[in-house]
Structures are given as structure tokens and as C-alpha cells.
Structure 1
């Protein structure tokens, strides 16, 4: 009997989509086709590969209305936010524009005696294991440079966003990327891990949990397969005494609550200089109380349900545990009557928190943030670094030199000043500690999906 993946909508608990899982044999056959098709794709001129990928992105944009509605049904994101295609376009456009330079040979010598240079070769078949929270943005970070560099791509999307993988495959096919060069496969975890263990991929990019990252590493052990991992985060914000308070509240609250807190680089803990603490907290409460939790298909909704009830229950557990340990909740859940004890969860702000509480140390991935006062930069840095994760950190200040000095002391992949929760495609997207390893976007993103090949050509002297 064929097994299936069922996508349960958090909006109403109904089955939103159901797809058959590929068997191990079917999956191996698909990857074999990708490997066979890749050399011909790599031989196409770079300009042609770029043009076809760009055409695929254009085709994706033509699906905008459909994608927005599907995202609401799959993960509960309010339709008012319009999907993810503006970010997709920004990242794809930048990576296409820099491709010629990023992939250009490095010439060492071209004389009458020698020609010496370093070129970049594609890795072959790239596996992209994409997450549900930003199913287009996260996937495109690797898909676009991998295809442009001449790789074939196999996409395994999260079960919560089955339709996102299908839309990406439809778009790339419409743009002219051969069907075997870009494939969307519906796979379970054991089959995915078996394919990795059999060394069927030249590179594996995984975005997801720390536990998932460990499973990927175990599967790849001994295969020498290159791996890129973006795992958990507990990203901090720091409001210095000289910060623009209104801007800090608006930016950090949006960074904490957007997408119901389900953002890889969302703000999960905030440290505020003691002189601004009370004012910050009052304004943060006002900001949260202006939000509207409810049906994501309603234009006025700003907070939809979390993607699954179990995710909401995990956040409820962190909040309850923190309150039992002495934290004080500032938001009365009664202000959000749509909180049904299931996937719909009222946002929460906590004060009186400490780093002995899980809510300040473990990833929440939901609409809750703890806020602590600090004496100075030194205390803020110590608390920001007191975490197993290191994706981004956000500093709010009028002093750019101070932000640079603080940033140099932080164990993180990206340092923001006066903004948060954003990926600049010109900058490397990376992390440290349990957040993972590897690099995406920027010119370095092309290094991840290619390998260097050296040419040392000695010319015959007559």
C-alpha cells in the first residue's frame, strides 16, 4: 500500500494536501536521472543558465496570488503580507547578477611559458532540504546559485509545505530548466538519510532543527559529502541608552512576532539599558495589544495560527514554566479571544526572566519574547553570548562605532544595527555554535555549491 504525506492546515485542522511518498527505488531512480542530466546542463553557457533560472523566477511571480493563499492554508501566514516573492526576487536577482564574477576563473599566470588558473566546477547533484516557515525564501538561497553554477538540484520540502516544492518545480520547468535537472521529490526522513549515506549527492543543504542537522551529519558520516546547515536560533536584541526608543520597539516587536514568531532569525530575547527599560516595556505592550490574532485569510489579521498545534503547545510550556519560576507575563490572553488552546496562540511578553529559564535559552519559535534590563554594554554582551546558538544579533544605537565594537565581541553570524530579521543577499548568511555551519548568499554562496579545480599548463617551447 502506498504511503502518503498528509498536510494538516493549522487554520481549521483539515487535510489541506496529501501526496504519495516515493519508495527508495523510485527516489534512487530520480537522483540517477539528475546525475545523468547534470553534465549537459553544466555545459550550457553560463548566460543561458542564468536566463533560464531568471525565467523560472518570473514564472513563480506569476503564481503570486495562488502562493499567498496556499501559504495561509499550509502554515497560517496572514494573506496581508503577500507571500515571500519580493525577497525571492531580491535574492535571485542579486545572485544572478554576481554569477559571472563569482564563477570567473582566477588567473595566476598566462605567459609564453605557463597558463595557471583556478576554476570552479559544480559539485554534481545538490540536495536542498527546505523548511516550512519560509518555504520559498530559504529554498531559493541554495537553488538559484546551485543551478546557475551548473548543478542539478533535488528539492525535498517539508511536509507542512508540500505545495511550495511543487510550485518551485513548476516554475523552473516553465523557465526552461530541464525536468531532470530540477526535481521536487516527496521523501520521508529514512529515505532521505539513506540517499545521503549512499553518497548520491555532491552537497546537502539543510535548514531546520538541531536534531535534524545531527541526523543529516550522521547520515553523511564517512561519505565526505559537503554539508551546509542552518539550524536553530535564539537571536537577541540589545537596546542601548542612546537608542531611538520608538524605532527599537517597532523593529524588535515586529522581529519577535512576525509570522507568529516562526522566523529563523526572529528576535527571541531582548536586553534593554536600565534607563529605557520601563518605557520600552510599556510601548512594547501597547504594540502587542494592537495586533489581531485570527483567520489568516482575513485582511485585518496580523497574527495567524502557528503551523502546528504541537509547536504552539511547546511555546505554552515554556511560558508556563517561566511563570512558575518567577517571570511575569504582561499580556492577558483574554485580550486575544481567538486563542483556542490549539494552533492559535496569543502573543506574550515576559519580564522578570533570567537565563535559568528555558524561554531565555532554548529556541521558542513562537510569539513570545523575554525582556531583561542591563547595566551596560558588557552585561549585554555577556547575556547575548550566553546561548548555544549564533545566527543574528540586533543592536539599537545611534553610535555605529559602538555597534561595530559590540558586534566584534558577539558570537553570531550576522550583526544588525537598528534593524533585525532580514537577509541582505550581498552579505554572507551564516551562523556559529549550534546554529550550524556553511555559507549562503553573497559571492561565498557560490563557493558552497562548487569546488576549485586548478590548471597548471606548461607550454612547449620550440
Structure 2
């Protein structure tokens, strides 16, 4: 067994330690989950919905405890109140969509034949969740997977070590059958070995590109479905007719909230040259007003990055860009300690030759470039290995749709950013991965089609 340790970004102390489960013990627990799944799938859909929503409510009852835990584990300021609003919204929407998403497809019923397609659960779904929004990213799959009749094994990131434990215990306390939804502490090698041994019927992974590749490699030859949401370098484009104040407020918040550690955070901004100077001035003023500090302090507006290793990568990207001619507009904050506490930064005079405009930063830095027209903006936005979301700022919805049709992305936002609408499919392209969560399509990915071709007796 291996000890997993969560190192708090607040002060570098060990916040939590858990022992991993070895391969044989994990296989025993997965067998128990598979046994529980058969009875669970036979239950009426409404019973499954009710119990999942009861589990969600049980997590909500822990929110006063969860908020400071998140601050300790990954640095998000307590002033923002945790994730329960989005957690509940996503689960509730998936409950609302379940009847339609899981309904049989009726093909025909005549004198000779009845034909239809059912959606049936995969069986045991393995959810590997990330640390940056640890409750919301997990519930994206956990809720619809359970509602669809699957069992769920959850492996959470070491940085948010106790989140999976909290969720599984809460759902069990709400009446979910034993063994159906389990949190498991696993190291990377055991995880890969379990997937390679065909232990799961579907794997959903949110994390790095390298992590997603490892999941697909482990599943090779098993025919296990793998859904992934990986890196991002999401752009914003501010057109000449945009509401400038709203664009600044939303895009800069999208770049800096959660210390820039958002799956669909804004990492590069393109502004029409006629608005560039005004946009930049307002953005600088906004960021200079942030308060960097201990996330347990209610006055803190931006906390430390979750790990000194993550902050070091952002610093490296900034330093390389400045060495190559970029201009950094935010003087170092007094609280910047050269480690996890990092000054939020705005860069101009940047180009796509710089890593800060190509590689995922996943931190509080954004490069801003002027553009002359839509064609240049589209070319720059598409010049990326990633494709999760884009944020378009204009008063013309038809223009936004036409531009969206030209962009390599999973979601097109207009006049908003960094938000996950559970009615829409959450998906990406290129190195962001493949698959689709939430919405009706989320149910399609968490089930398999089963066709019935029934000839009636004459």
C-alpha cells in the first residue's frame, strides 16, 4: 500500500493522509459494486432519482464543513462559499432530464412486429475526478451514472483527498445501497492495472492530457469506453460592438477566479484594436484591486494555487514570455511568496510563439492581444491544440453563431464565460479529449443501446 498525502497550499503542511487499496482488495470491492448494481438497475427510475437527490442534499448539509476543507486542500477562498450551488444544480437538472434521456426509442409496433431500443446501464462506471472543482466535476458523472442504473467507483485527486470520501459517505447516509457508490484511494499503477484487467464498464476521466492518454492506453484492447475532458486554453474575443465593461468584468474573472484553476477558464483574450487600450486599462485596474492571501480570511479574493508545483509552471511561462518581450502589467503583490501564493498577471505584447499563449497555464495569468477583424481573431483562436470553450463578445447573435461555426471548440459562449450549463453537452475536441457529459447526451454516454426486434405470434 501507498500513503497518499494532501499538502495544503496555505502553509505547506500535510492536511490529510490516506492509505491506498491494493489490486486484490480493489477487485473485491468492484465485485461487490457489480452485485449491488444489478438490484439497483431493477429499481424504478423514480426511486433511483429520489435516492440520488437525497444524497446530494446530504452533501449540502455538510457545506459549512466542506468550505474550509476546500480552502485547506486547494486554496479557494471561503468567501465564495464552496460548490454546493453548482453541485445541486447539475444533479437536479440531470434528474429532471432522466425520463427523456433514458426513454426507449420506439421504432414500430404493428400487426407483425414490435421494435424498440432501450438504454441500459453499462454496469460499473469508474469516475476519476480532478481537484480544481472537486465536487462539481465529480457530480457531473456520479449523478447521471447512478440515476441511469450504474454502480460508481470514484477515485479523487490526491490534492482533494477527502472529497470522494465525503460524497460516498453522504450518499450512503441518505439511503443509497451499500457498495453501490464507493470512494476508492488508488495509486496510478493500481488504477492502470484495474482498467487493463477489464474491471470497469466505462471510465470517465477529467484531468491532464497525459493522464487521459494513460487512461486510454490502459484500456487498450479491453473495449472499455473512455470519456475524457483534458486540457484547455480557452480564448475570449471582444468585438468592436461589445459591452466593454461587461466583457472586462467577465473575462478577467474567468481568467483569475479560483486562482485561474478552472477547466474552462479564460487563458487568452483577443480584443478588437479599437477597444484594446480601454479594455487593457480597465482589466489592469480590476486585477490590481484583488487581495491575495490566506483563503480562510474572508477578505481574501484570490488564494494560493493548489500546489507550489502548479505555481512554478505559471511563473515559468510568465518569465519566459517577459524574456521574449512580453509586458507584465501587475507589480508583484506583497503576499507573493515565490511559492503557492502568486501575483495574478496580465501580459501584452505576447505572441503564439510564447508558451503562455500555447500551453495550458491553469493559473492566474492571461495574455491579451489586439486584432483587426473577425478573420484574424478566428485564426488565432483556432491556433491551439485544445478546444473546450470560446467566449465571444458582441451585440449581434447571428454574428456570434456564424463565428462559432468556424471555431474548433466544444462550447460557444456569447457575452458570458466560464460556466457549465447542465442542459448543454459538456464536451471538447482536439487535445481537450472526447466524450460528452451532462444534458441528454450525458445519459447516452453512460448507457448502451439494446435493440428489441419482437415478432408477434400469428
TM range, smaller chain: over 0.9
For 2:274, what is the secondary structure of its paired residue? helix
Extract structure 1 runs of 4+ deviating beyond 6 A: none
The CA deviation at 1:24 is 1.3
Query: What's the CA shift for 1:111?
Result: 2.5
Corresponding residue of 2:438: 441
- State the alpha-carbon separation in 1 of the partners of residues 152 and 352 from structure 2: 42
- Give the Cα–Cα distance (whole angstroms) in 2 for the partners of residues 98 and 351 of structure 1: 44
Is the 2:36–2:178 contact (alpha carbons within 8 Å) kept by the matching residues of 1? no
Match of 2:325 in 1: 326
1:366 to 318, 343, 363: 363
1:279 equivalent to 2:278? Answer: yes
Q: Could you give the per-residue CA deviations for residues 384-409 of structure 1, whole angstroms, max 9, x where no partner exists?
A: 00000000000011111110011000
Using the alignment, how far apart are the partners of 2:142 and 2:339 within structure 1?
Answer: 34
Match of 1:389 in 2: 386
1:89 maps to 88
For the residues of structure 1 that align with 2:107 and 2:175, how far apart are their CA atoms? 36
2:157 matched to which residue of 1? 158
Query: What does the per-residue CA deviation read over 1:293-340, in whole Å, with 9 as the maximum and x for residues that have no partner?
Result: 00000111010000000100000000000001110000111xx11100
Q: What is the aligned partner in structure 2 of residue 403 from structure 1?
A: 400
1: CA distance, partners of 2:105 / 2:300 = 52
Q: Report the Cα distance in structure 2 between the residues aligned to 1:65 and 1:415, rounded to whole angstroms.
A: 35
Instruction: Map 1:31-50; keep pairs closer than 5 Å.
Output: 31-50=30-49
> What corresponds to 2:241 in structure 1?
242
Q: TM-score, normalised by structure 1?
A: 0.98
Give the equivalent residue in structure 1 for 2:68.
69
- The Cα RMSD (Å) is 0.6
1:64-213 matches, within 5 Å, as 64-213=63-212
Alignment of 1:290-369 (within 5 A): 290-333=289-332, 336-369=333-366
Q: CA deviation at 1:352?
A: 0.2
**More moved, 32-41 vs 323-332:** 32-41
Are residues 1:415 and 2:407 paired?
A: no
Distance (Å, rounded) in 2 between the aligned partners of 1:181 and 1:110: 36
What is the Cα deviation at residue 174 of structure 1? 1.6
SS of equivalent to 2:161: helix
Question: Structure 2: which 5+ runs fail to align?
Answer: none
Counterparts of 2:261 and 2:408 in 1: how far apart (Å)? 22
Asked whether the 8 Å contact 2:293–2:335 carries over to 1, the reply is yes
Contact conserved, 1:394 with 1:415, CA < 8 A, in 2? yes
Q: Which residue of 2 aligns with 1:59?
A: 58
* Secondary structure, counterpart of 2:204 in structure 1: strand
| DSSP-derived class of the 1:275 partner | coil
Deviation at 1:108, TM superposition (A): 1.3
Q: Is the 8 A contact 1:55 1:174 kept in 2?
A: no
Provide the rounded CA distance (Å) in 1 between the counterparts of 2:107 and 2:77: 53
In structure 1, C-alpha distance between the alignment counterparts of 2:342 and 2:147, rounded to whole Å: 41
Cα distance in 2 for residues equivalent to 1:438 and 1:154? 19
Pairwise CA distance, 1:355? 0.4
Q: Is the 8 A contact 1:133 1:262 kept in 2?
A: yes
User: What's the CA shift for 1:378?
Assistant: 0.4
- TM-score, normalised to structure 2, is 0.99
SS of 1:206's equivalent in the other structure is strand
Instruction: For residue 444 of structure 1, report the CA deviation from its aligned partner.
Output: 0.2
Q: Equivalents in 2 of 1:30, 1:69: separation in Å? A: 31
Please report how far the alpha carbon of residue 375 of structure 1 lies from its aligned counterpart in structure 2 after TM superposition. 0.2
Displacement, 1:110?
2.0
How many angstroms apart in 1 are the aligned matches of 2:452 and 2:175?
32
